[in-house]
Structures are given as C-alpha cells and as structure tokens.
Amino acid sequence: MSTEPRPSSGVVAIVASYRPDADLVTTAAKLRQQFDHVIVVDDGSPAEFSGRLDEIEATGVTVIRRPQNAGIAASLNAGIRAADENGRPDFVVTFDQDSVPVDDYAERALATYYDARAAGRRVGFVVASSYSGHAVHTRGDVAGFTVAFDPMQSGFVIPRETLDSIGRLDEGLVIDGVDSEYTARARAAGLDVLVGAGCDIRHQLGRRDPARLFGRPLRVLGRELSYNYHSPQRVYYIARNGTTLTRRYLLKDPSWVLRRLGEETKAHLLRLAFSPNRRAIAAAMIAGYRDSFRGRTGVIPASLARRLR
C-alpha cells in the first residue's frame, strides 16, 4: 500500500439532480456517511419539486438550485465551484441522482489512486468498476492497474491536481459525451484514467427496447436483440457531440476514437432500424452531424427541438 499522505481537506461528493424522486433523499443521507461534504445541484427542476429539494437539504447536504436546465456538465461544474469556494477539497466525486455507491466507495477509489501514484503513475481520475453488476469496459492495464475505456461520469473521483491542470467539464457539450471528453482530455495530458478496485455503483442503466421485426422480438444467435432507446432530442446531442469528439481527438488517440466510433455507429444503426419514430431520429442525427461541423455547441436550438418533438 502507498505511504503517501492522505488528503487533509476532504472529499466532496457532487450529485447532479433533475426532477428528483424520493430515493434521492435516502441517497443524500447515505452519501453524507462517507463523504466530508455533499452538494446536490438541481438543474432547473419545475417548481413542484421544491419540496423534495427541501427534504434533501434537511439531510444536511448543500442544495444548489439552478434557475434553468443547462445540462450535466454545467450542473457538476457548479458543484465543483461551490466546493472550491468552501475550501478547495483535494478530491471531488461526481454522481448522477440515480447512483448509489458502495458504502466504502471513496476509500476504495482513493486506495487505487494512492497506490498508482506510489507506482509512479500520473492519475487523472479514478472511475467506477461496475454499474449494477455490469463491469465497465477496459483498455488494458498499466503498472498493474486497470485502465478504463470510456467510463460514465457517475463515480469519477477527480483529484485537485487534475482540476487545476486540465480544468472542469466541457459545458458546451451539455449532456452526452461530457464524460468521454473529460477522459480523452485527461489522456491527452498524459494522465491515467483508472478503474477503482471494488468501486461498484448501483445505477439505473436506462431504457432498452426489444428489436422487433413484423411485430415479433428479433433473435440473433438465440438471444433477443435490444437497443438503447433515446428521444430525438437526445439523439441530436449523441450525434453532435460524438462527431465533435471524433474530430477533436482522432489524431491524439486514434484507437480510442475508432473503438468508440464503432460502438456508437452500431447503436445508431439499431435506433434507425427499430425506433418507433425513425424519421425524427434520422433528422436529429443529420442535424447533430451538421452542427458539429459548423462548430455549434450548447443547448439544442429551440426551433430544432420543436421540430423533433
């Protein structure tokens, strides 16, 4: 084990919230038991959720109420800024509102971080090892530590040194690809993105719909085929931001970009083939590709969002 000194100014958990349910009240209370401070950033939920946010605040966590929805990157960055204003913690840990980490998540992640540092590695951040029992995809190992391929941001354990050297999350991406961009940016700076040993998170993995042909479930090699359904507006972000990442990092890390692009292409083909609103999905993809090459970032244009509904 590493003999490097442990942090003195704490580890802060930052949770992005939107239309929170009652489970987040319980989760917030649990997070307080293992983190020095917990900040929940609500991304412009409607007024009827104010009472729920009051309940969360009553657990002893800090609640930041943003006036309008601006996306996951803006929410997490707001939490990081608030943490910095309250003492610049040595680590921040980002979570989605539907994520529940194991009780010693921070301890496990920091053990991986300090052991890797003791082995001479420059660590960008440490990520979850699995989500609800599904292991994260990996990319080999360095010095005996597992390297993550393209991890989800829920569970990122980001040290102060990384924030100071490469900055915060890219708010221009809004939602999809925010975690991928931060991973690519860290690696481009020569930093490792490592899987934390035993860092499991219970997490809702999103909606998967069965692929149907003539109304019947489609089977391939004896297994029922399914795909991740997303609304056309969400597909716009996936297409736009995925293309932006390809353009931004292809020459810096071609093997990572091409592997990611291959997986994303398969997902798009399944959506185009089996989504009930295929015409809107196709329009969203075309708009996303177009806007990426035009250099457009930020929230989807209101006129386009209306057309895709």
Q: Please check whether residue 1 lies inside any domain of the structure.
A: no
Give residue 6's pLDDT.
Answer: 46
178 and 267 part of one domain: no
- 198 plus 271 within the same structural domain: no
Same domain, 213 and 181: no
**pLDDT (tens place) for every residue of the chain, 309 residues total:** 444 544 435 999 999 999 999 999 999 999 999 999 999 999 999 999 999 999 999 999 999 999 999 999 999 999 999 999 988 999 999 999 999 999 999 999 999 999 999 999 999 999 999 999 999 999 999 999 999 999 999 999 999 999 999 999 999 999 999 999 999 999 999 999 999 999 999 987 665 666 665 566 666 666 766 667 789 999 999 999 999 999 999 999 999 999 999 999 988 988 888 888 899 999 999 999 999 999 999 999 999 999 998
The dihedrals phi and psi of 174, each to the nearest 5 degrees, come to: 75, -70
Residue 306's pLDDT is what?
A: 95
Is position 55 within any domain?
A: yes
User: Would residue 281 count as lying in a domain?
Assistant: yes
162 and 265 assigned to the same domain: no
Distance separating alpha carbons of residues 27 and 32, to the nearest angstrom:
9
The partner residues of 216 in beta bridges, in order of sequence, read 213
Letter string b/e over residues 233-270, b meaning 16 or more CB atoms within 10 A of that residue's CB: bbbbbbbbbbbbbbebbeeeeeebbeebeeebeebbeb
- Closest of 296, 156, 200 to residue 239, by C-alpha: 296
Same domain, 151 and 241: no
Beta-ladder partners of 16: 41, 96
| Domain membership flag for residue 250 | yes
Same domain? 19 vs 63: yes
Looking at the structure, do residues 76 and 162 belong to the same domain, yes or no? yes
Q: State whether 153 and 222 are in the same domain.
A: no
Paired with 289 in beta bridges are none
Q: How far apart are the C-alpha atoms of 154 and 67, rounded to whole Å?
A: 23
Same domain, 157 and 122: yes
**CA 28 to CA 53: how far, in whole Å?**
11
47 lies in the same domain as 168: yes
pLDDT, position 25: 96
Is residue 2 in some structural domain? Answer: no
Q: Which of these three, 203, 234, 264, is where a domain ends?
A: 203
* 188 and 272 inside one domain: no
The domain of 279 spans 208-308
Identify whether 6 is part of a domain. no
**CATH code for the domain of 65:** 3.90.550.10
Number of domain units in the chain: 2
pLDDT for res 220? 64
Q: Supply the pLDDT for residue 7.
A: 42
The structure tokens listed for 233 are: 């507006």
End residue of a domain, out of 186, 203, 220 = 203
Q: Residue 5 falls within a domain, yes or no?
A: no
**Last-in-domain residue among 203, 235, 267:** 203
Residues 141 and 94 occupy one common structural domain:
yes
d(CA 279, CA 238): 16
Does residue 17 lie in a domain region? yes
